[in-house]
Amino acid sequence: MRWKIDGKRTIGSGASRHTGLRLHLDAACTLKLPMGFLAITLGIAAGLIYHAPAALAAARTIIVSPDKSQSHFQTIDSAIASIPKRSRTAVTLLIRPGIYHERIIVPRHAPPITFMGVSAADTILVDSRIAYQKGSNGKPIGTFSTQSTWIRSNNFSAANITFANDAGISGNGYDGQALAIRVDGDRSVFYHCHFVGWQDTILLNKNRQYFDRCRILGAVDFIFGNATAFFNRCHIVALGYGCLTAPRTPADHPYGFVFSHCKISSYAKAHDTWLGRPWGPFASSIFLHCRLPASLNAAVFQHWMDKRSPETARFAEFADTVGPSGTPSGQTPAWISQLTAAQAAAITIGSVLGGSDHWNPELTVQRLANHGKRLVSAAH
């Protein structure tokens, strides 16, 4: 599949005016999601066949494909269910191009698992749960049960995969919270992945996560949670009015969300995008060397309902630039820290994520990159 932005606008006027995002499948179905003014087209690349690279044969490799003749399983959830409980053998799911409309849960007891695709544009993991829908008890399921994919285990990694939730948007505009992914496990790594939603796209609920060269789309608080996470050279896309981040960092955690050398784009109206707002009193979001959109609100960060949060929140910037001219950012309110060069230099992947176990997620990224090259080679 291919993502394509064609700039199409949804017709409307006055208070009811809104613009829309459309996920269109060149195959047998079309899914329309009003989300900002862009339209995203996903075209399935037909006839692509590849085999597990020999280098992965030592670890367990499971092939997942909509085509039963070319795979061990046709759904990702059934592939995960086949992994023995308490197994210590690392498992790679080679996921062939397609749309996997299912709810995926990687259980807490799972061994290290890797989701590997050929390209994020061709491999879509999506579900449609939304906070207000009723569960088996007749009550709304709530935000924390809407995730399309739930990573509960430690040492999970993914490359070239799109995680999406196609709920949350209706023909009348915004509908509610709908998670594309929830991550609870420690030491999770995402490389060249896409994340698509509207409100609450990514819940980083706890522990440590690393995102490298990923694309994240949403509008309202679409990167949020209690975890410590580092975003390296990612593209963050605001589709409508709202804040990019809503951290709820614990008081004893030195870092929450760190964005380094990221590009921030916005399809919202002028002044309708903020970098973040504190979900909790000790919330932390830091933006280093990032390219910010010209439509960014002059305040850059926003209060939540608790006006006392600026007294303890830890939001900061260093060497961010705004708009195509690269004009330095510097219009932030007094409660936002402008870091010195020395302070910024001390904020590294290692200092943020290393921990007592000296975790180095860049080693996982290198493994994922090497495996991805083999996949692309095998696909041709």
Catalytic positions: 200, 221
Among the listed residues 149, 192, 163, 196, the one whose alpha carbon sits nearest the alpha carbon of residue 375: 192
Tokens 């943020």 -> residue: 352
Residue 90: how many CB atoms within 10 A of its CB? 16
Sequential DSSP letters for 134-152 = B-TTSSB--GGG--SEEE-
Greatest alpha-carbon pair distance for the chain in Å reads 61
CA distance 297 to 173: 22
Alpha-helical regions (H) of 43-118: 76-81
Q: Which two tokens stand for residue 114?
A: 């890797």
For the chain, give percent helix, strand, coil, nearest 5.
15, 35, 50
| Residue 108 CB contacts under 8 Å (≥ 6 apart), including other chains | 152, 153, 184, 185
Among the listed residues 128, 225, 231, the one whose alpha carbon sits nearest the alpha carbon of residue 185: 225
Among the listed residues 113, 140, 55, the one whose alpha carbon sits nearest the alpha carbon of residue 370: 55
Name the phi and psi angles at 363, rounded to 5: -65, -40
DSSP state of 84: P
Q: Which two tokens stand for residue 323?
A: 């708009």
CA distance 308 to 263: 30
Look up residue 39 and give its amino acid. A
